[in-house]
Structure formats: C-alpha cells, structure tokens
Structure 1
Amino acid sequence: MQKSQHGAISLGKLILIAIGSIAVVGGALLLFINFAPPSADQDTVVLEFSSPKTITVGQPFSVKVSFVNSGNFPLKDAKLALSIPQGIYFIGSDETQRVAEQALGDIGPGSADQRIFNLIALEGRQTLKRLEAVLSYRRAGSEARFEEKSQVDLTIGGEAVTMTLESPARVFSGEQFEIKLHYRNNTDSVFEDLTLTLAVPDAFSMDSADPKPSKENNWHIATLNPGEEGNIIIKGSLKGPEKAFFGFRAELLGNIGGTTYKLATKGGSVSIASSIISATITVNNKKDYIAHIDDDLDYVITLHNNSEITIENINVRATLLGKLYDYPQLSTDGFFNSLTNTITWNPAQNSSLFSLGPGESTALRFSIPLLSAFPVARLGDKNYTLKVRVEAESPTVPPQTTAEKTMTVTQLETKVAGKLAVDAQAFFRDAKSGIINEGDYPPQVNRTTQYTIHWKVYATATDVSNVLISAFLQSGAQWTGKVKSNINSVPQYDPHSGQVTWAISHVPANTGIVTKPIEAIFQISHTPSVVDVGKDVKILTKTRIEGRDDFTGIMLTNEDDILTTNLVDDPTVSNIRNPRVRP
C-alpha cells in the first residue's frame, strides 16, 4: 500500500513539473516575441539620405530622407527624427533647435515614403558636418521601440554671399574718411529681400552715403542675381581722443522662410591719429582727483602745439555732463550755453587762440561748485561721476593732408566719493528698544542711572565696505552687556581700554536714505560723583566712523558729537528744565 502511494505521488509531481515547464517556455516565448530583435522575415527597414554633396554658407538647401518597409509586418507609431550639428539650422525654426521629429503613423509592409527638411548653414566654412536620421517604431502587440539609423556627411564650401568692409587704419579726429562695403552673390541662385546694416560708434558722424540708406544705416537689396555684386560708399568723420579705437560692423541679412538670417558679417576698426594740437584737462591740479559733495572744482584746459607750424583761429568747446554740478554758479570767461551745458572760447574772447606757435601752450579756465547734497531718490542713485569733454579745432591742417580742419578731443571723468555718517544718540526712557533703563533722571550724585546708546549708520551714493565705528566710555560709565542690532554683528566692548567698537562688513549705498539705517543699541550705566554736580557729564566720547568707498577706493571718515547726561535726543525728558547732575 505504501509503495502504491509513493508511485502516485511521483506521477503527480511529474505532471506539475511538466505544466510549470510549459508555462516557463510559453512566457519566455512571449517575451522573445515582444522584445527580441526583429528577424529578417518580420521587418526590414531601409533608411537613406539624398542631399547635395557640397553646400555653401548662407544658401538654403534641402535634405531628403527616404524610408522603405520591406518586411512582412507593419511598423507601428513610426517617427522620423533628424539631428543636425552646430552651424546648421532648420529654416523657420528657433536657432537652438538641434533635432526635428515628424510622426509618420503606421508604415505598412512594402510601403515607401520620404520627408524633406529645409536647412541652412551659417558657419563652418571649409568643414565637414554630419547629419543623422533615426526612424523609430513599434511592432504590433509590443510596446518596445526599435530604431534604424542613417548618417550623411556634408562638405561646407565657401560663402554664398561675400562681403568686405574697407576703411583707413588711422584718421585725424574730425577728418572725413570713406568706408566701402562690397557684396557679391557667388551662387547660381537668386537672393531676394536682403538688408545690409552698418553698426557705427556714437563718435561717428555720417556725411553722405551712395546709395542712400532706406533707413538709418540700413540698405534694402530687393534682388541679388547670380554673380551680381554691389558697393556702398559711406563718408563721415570720427571725433575722439588720440589713439582711441572705434569699431564698425556690417551684416548682410536675408529673409528666408519668414526668418531673418545673417548671411555675411564683416568688422573693421579705425583709430584716431595724433593731432598737431593736443588738449589736457585737470581739476584741482589733478587728473585723478576724487571729488566730494559740496566741493569747489577748478578746471584747467591746456592746449599745446605739437607741430612745427603755427596753428591759427582755434575754437574750443567744453561740455559738462553730471547731475551734481551747480550750473548757475559756474564761473568762466567763455560763453556758457545752459541748454547744452557747453562753454565756448574763440579768438574774439581769448586772444591766445588767434595763433599758437610751434611748441607753445595756452590755458583756459573755469570753476564750478558741486551741489550741497546728493539728489538721491532710489537705491540705484549711486556712483556719481562728473565729465568734461573738450573739443578744440582750427582751420590749420598739416601739410600734405586732405583734412579740412585740425581737431583734437579729450575727456576727463571724475568720480564723486559717497558719504558715510553715524548718528549717536542717548536715551533714558527707551521702551521701544526692548531695553529698560533703571535709575534717576536727572541723575544724582552717587546714584547709578542706566542709558541706552543708539548708533545709526548712513551711507549715501556709494557702497561702503569694512566699516568700523568706535567710541570710548567716559569716567563713571560702565558697560552692562545688553546689546543688539538689526544686522548680524553687534558692538563689542574692551574693558581694558573702555572702547566700544562695531565692525560692519558692508553697507549698501543709500542705507538710511532710501531704506532704514543700520542700527545698534547698547546699554551703559553711569554714576556721577560730587564734582559733577550742576554739570552735563560726558558719558561717551565722539563717535567715529570709517569705511572704504567701493566706488572710489578712498577711505571715508566722519564723526558725531560727544554724548552727555543732557539727553537732547530723548523726547521723554525734554520738558525737564535743568537736566544737570543733582546733589
């Protein structure tokens, strides 16, 4: 009996093992069908490029991507993606787009189709660029995606449209010179709706242009036929200091597919040659003077003849630029135009300008004060400067030059330092500070009274760094240890010297003017002696503040008055007629 049962159990186990094996094989087969790479009799995809072998920079071109499903099953949810390298762009799309993807839907067995991509190369002359197409799809009944890839290399040759910019390397300030722009279509295609633009420096004045621009510094080229070329001649002059460089930049823009592209770009620069007359400016006998609010400024303009010929009939203009000048207080022997803030000198006003011999110099002067306060209204009202721009010109020109006049231009820029201040105040009743003072007020001999000291910090017109505030407790005064501030540092007390110091790493411009001041509060106590009776006793020396002006680099310093037991800033004790120490 036992033997028969053992045989039955073995047969049952065999049946279960067989069923499990069939399940495992079936699952593996299903996974294989869903995720295994397609075999040749399931799907075969052909993906090919058709494109020009060589392209030119700035000329649109098309790339055709063809695909064929030569397999026996449909390609489900097919997508075609084209990837392009830097320097090549999809026409009409954002310049940052590097991949364009198109949904193809289902591609049946034996089906063939193609997609065309319109591109343009804008850089990479004489280089090789690689494009890659990827066709992705699913098989029926599967979520897995498969890919077929194809690549093509394109040779970028020259430029479809070339442009040159010709200009002299050096000119005299004020001398007229010529800029020549030349453009040419190097292809067998027609370009339409082109625009040539020329960016010029502010110091350049255009006298003429042939042909005339359609709008300021812009020329519209309606059609540029194969092999056609053209020129634009511009005449003008530069006004600037000697050895200064000024840049010019020309761009040829094309409207292709509703998007504007730079087909060609050229730049050039012109420097100002040394003139036979030079000008220098000083203020308060310095070229690097740092001004302060409420300053008196004395300007000297020195003209010097650098040549071996006499310079005649010199005219000089000095233009003042700055919000801090007190223009109504200007003092000068020249003519002042208050509409343009320009001072003019000519030979009729100053006889030294009639002629300036070889190696000779002459000086022109004017004085002007600054406003007594900064016109600050916003946090951004800071880092004030004062500028004086001088132009001197004469009809005398060096021999063998084509200039119509001699000119020199120079400019002096003066920085104005900010203002740093501290307001030291003492209070007896000061509940708002969160510190309660105890004792008698008015103070009495041999009786201790507590006071809170407030230090308020102000910075006007410049940021200030490494600020240090300091003062000394006076005889009879003691540090109680109660201290607070509205920033992450507080005053420190040195019991050996009796000095209180407060270090602040940075104070933003217009703190206390536009925003609340930085403030610290500390408590001290004071016990008068018999010799103090009838007096306002000193409890804190003058409070000194110093810090580095971040704009000018100089140290700013200031101080506030000593503090006594006569609490002039405490409104709660202002009605006391005699606040002096009592017996």
Structure 2
Amino acid sequence: MENENEEKSKIEELKKHLDSRSFSQPDENIRRPTGINVNDIRDDWSEEDKKNLVENPTLENQMAKKQRNFLKKFLVGSVAFFILALAIASFVLFGGGNIISSDNVEVSVSGPVSVSGGERLSLDIIVFNDNNTALELADLIVEYPDGTRSPNNLSLELPRERFPLGNIGSGDKFEQEINAVLFGEEGSKEKIKLTVEYRVSGSNAIFFKEKEYEIEISSSPVSFSIESLTEVNSGKEISLDVTLKSNSNNLIEDLMFIAEYPFGFTFKESVPRTSYEQNIWKIGDLSPGEEKKIEITGVLEGQDNEERIFRFFSGLQSEDDEQELKTAFVSSTQLIFIKKPFLSLDIVVDGSTSNNYSTPVGEIVNVDILWKNNLPTSIANVEIEAKIVGDVDENSVFVRGGFFDSLSDIVVWNQERSPFFESVNPGDNGTVNFRFNSMEFTGASLRNPEVSLNVSVRGRRLSESNVSEEVISSSKKSIRFDTNLSLAPRIVHFSGPILNSGPIPPKAEVETTYTVIWTLSNSVNNASDIVISAKLPSYIRWTANTSASEETLNYNSVNREVSWDVGAIASGSGFSSSAREVAFQIGFTPSLSQVNNVPILVNKSKVTAKDDFTGALLESTKGELTTRISTDPSFKTGGERVID
C-alpha cells in the first residue's frame, strides 16, 4: 500500500514539473546536426547497383539461391519417382509375367442356343486359367432367370447355384456341367449369369470374372387356344372357351391363368369358378399332354363397329403374391367387334340368358325367343326358326303360335300363323316360345346329354336405293343336362352286413343297435367331389362298427356328424354297373320320455357333388331315418314304437 502511494506521489510530482513554466530540456538529450543533407540520399536502385549485385552477390543472396535450387531438384525427383511407381503398379495390375489378371481367366459355355420351355437344359462350363499363377479357392456361381426349376424336383425353384472349383493351376482348366429347367414365353430371350470367384496367394481379396449366356425359349411348355365369336351384339352375352395344354414332357406345377377384360365387359360366371377376383384361375398341376378348359361368360357393351381386346396370360404362380405370375409362359389376345344387328335376338332358357345353361335331366325346358327391329324402316315377311339339335324327346316339343317339323327338328314362326310378321315396324319387338324335354334315361343309352338351339330371324327391307334386300340375324344357345345323383338311405336291424342286438320294439333304458345303409347311384354324367353327411341325435351312440373297408367313412364326435367321402362316381352306376354303398352301426337306448314315440335315429342326409360334364354343383337332401325300419324284410308293424 505504501509503494502504491509512493509511486503515485512521484507521478504527481513529475506531472507538476512538466506543466511548470520554468521547465527546460536538459542539454544532453538534444540531438546534434549530422551535416548530411537528406535530399542527397537516393530512394531507388541504379542500373549499375543492380548489375553489381548480380555479378557480385552477397553471402546472404548466395545462400538463398542454393536453397531454392535444392527445393527445385527435390520436387522434380519426387514427380519422377511417382511416375515410375505408377508405371510399375500398372504393370503389376495389367501386365504379363507372373502377375494375375482377370483377362487371363477364360469362361466358355458349350450348349444349345435354344431350349423348349419346361425341358431339361444341360450346359458344359469350362474355366481356363491362362495366368502364370494359380487361382485359389475358386467358385463357379450360376444365376438363373426367374422361374427356373430344379431338374430333379420341379417343385423346387432354382434361382442360383454355387460350385466349388478348388485351386486351378496355371494353364489348367476346370469343367462343370450344370442342369436346369427353364420356363418362359415362346421366343423370349433368357440370360444365365456365370461368375468365377477366386483368390490369389498372399492376398485376402476376392477377384471375379463374369460371363452371360443367352438362350432362347423355342417353345412354351404350355399353350392355349381361345374360341369365341368374332362379332357380338352390344349388351349380349358372350362366351370365351379357353383350352390349356401342356407341351412339356415333365409335370408342370403351380400353373395359373389370368384374363384381362376390356372396357365394357361385365363378368358373369366361369366354369370352373375363378380362384381370385373374377379373372384369375389357379390351374395347379398339369401333366404332360394334359388339357384343361376354362369357359368365361359375360356381357359386352359398346358402340357399333367398336372393337374390344381380351388379353390372356398363363405361367407359374408367384410365391410372393398369389395373384401374380412369377414367370409367364404364353400370352394371347382375342379381338371382338361390336355390331348392332338389324334384327336382334335373345334366347332365354328357364329365365336364364346364359349361353351355356344346365338343368336336371328329365326336367321340362322352357325357351323364350325375344326379337326386335332395330332398323328405321319396316321389315316384311319376318320368319323365326329354331333348330333343336341333340338329345331331345321329340314327342315332348310344344310350340305356341308356331309349328314344329319333327323331320328337321325345326320350330318355325311366320306370317302364316301370325299375321303380325307380315310387316314389322321400326322398334317393334316381341317374344315367341316353346318347350321340350330331354331324352328319357334308360340306364345305358344316354350319356352326357346336351341340346343346342340354333335360332335365326330373317326378313326383307327396302334399301336406300329402294332395292329389296334380305336382313338376317342369328343366335345360339347350349343346354346341358345335369346328372341325377340318387341317394337311397335306409335302416335295418334283422338284416344287413352288420350283426345287431337288442329288443325290437326298442325298450326304454335298454340299448338296441341298428345298421344304417347308404346306397348311391348315378345316371347320365360322371360326378366328382361327392360327400354324403348326416348328424346323429344326442341320444344315439356311434359304435364305430362299419362295413366301409374300401370306402372313406368318418365320424366327428364334436358335431356328431357322419360323413362319407365318396370321391368320384361313374355315370350309369346303379344302372348299368353296381351302385356305391356303405353301412355303419348306431346304438339307441330309449329314455322313459320316449315311450310310445317313434324317435329319429339319423337326421337328414345331405349330398354335395360336382357334375363333371356340366360343371354344375349338385346338392340334395333326404329325410330322417326313424325306428320305423320298413326297409327291413323282417320288420313288423308296431315294432317302431318305444315300449316301457
């Protein structure tokens, strides 16, 4: 603190002294003149000075120059070394001698330039090492196009394979055979990618050589044909019949068919039914040479002279999306023109406008023919003909307002029986009708019964040049008759293939066993997917005693349902050949509450099946079976009621 005060007082004293009027500069601090005139000093270099400096450099200048020369030489040497190192590296990578190069690894393929889709493809792959150093731990990787399958198991996809080649010495080669089954659309180009991976001594890096092999699918493993009308009236039903056929020598699995419909087409139905949406069918497996058919029915609408294009595709189903194709085998289009007829026709069978209609055999078929004049002028002498072709009972044909000629099987409506047809005005329309029955089934003569109706309407009109010309329109309808699957359920006690026990009439609180017999017969068409089922009441016991050694009979204890999986049955079974039959035993212990009653032993029996000819789903039911076992020859009246 004292030092600070002391310094402060000295500063104050100095300040006071400097501000004093008596202050004077000490003499010793005054600078004396040098006697040199400042204006005589030059501020630049003369040419002579510059020359002397260059010719006679100072020591400092000589040192700086030597340093600059050294740096320049060092830089030039570095650049030269870099260029030399780069040249050596390039030689190592791309040059010859003992250095490895992928250009010296040759991959060659020996095989066909084309192959049929679905057929086995064999290729011989040769890997040749033209380097002076061995290829170590070499592998051949083969990447196949989508949809390729293993030739040993066509259900297995084959996206890629890896073959270990081991070490391939200098100048050596390695041969590998590869086999696969390719699928694709006819004429398509497929590529197989071949990659050889290898290592070299003293390095952990993996080197590779690639090659692509292109092959053409000469023919599709699947082909299909499409049959349909090429012209159709707007708003009228149309059918497209598709036939798929296997061209492969191998089984084709997971086959799928997709249709793309044009604008104006309304899907109605198909045989068989679609698997997804209204345009995708899962065909499944197709054996060599096997054919499968798809019939698509719908209504096409549009303006006169417009065209509509249907597109169809077939191939292998994708594993990622069950509604998509992974590999397309074949595609096709069908062009249909829309026309507006002068005289329109529609055929309605039993109220149905379907082009392919089915009805139970033996039933009466009612046919209505609807017609209309679409011209702006009158049509004279209109005549409608309906020719009946097929399995029809001629004696059953009945016509309203027309005439049936049994010699030609033609029904005719004209002005002779209806004066209205003498002149039909623009926009006039009407309906004519008739009915018939199919041929009678005798057990052997009738198989796959079918009737075709070929209807035409014609007349005459005056053209724009006042010349009489004929106008005509036609239509066709197919009618198939469903088979009659007949189930005859019965119940016995004293007879049948199974030995029964217990009292008849049944006695309260005492068990009596019965044998239930199902007999199935079939008339005109083959049928499949047949299942017969019935449920047992809660007071009935399933004994598990059956006579179904060659049949599939099951009992579900949860819902108490007995089911017989018949499978398929041929036409004529039970008539020209033996019927199918199965029997099973049940136990009945009556309760006191059932005394004097006739209890139900088996509830209604249900039959479901598919007609293989018409494609129709068949379904029927039969009534309950009770203790009134009248089908047993030894049964006596009164034995049906429970006694105490």
TM-score (norm 1): 0.48
Return the index of the structure with the highest Cα Rg. Answer: 2
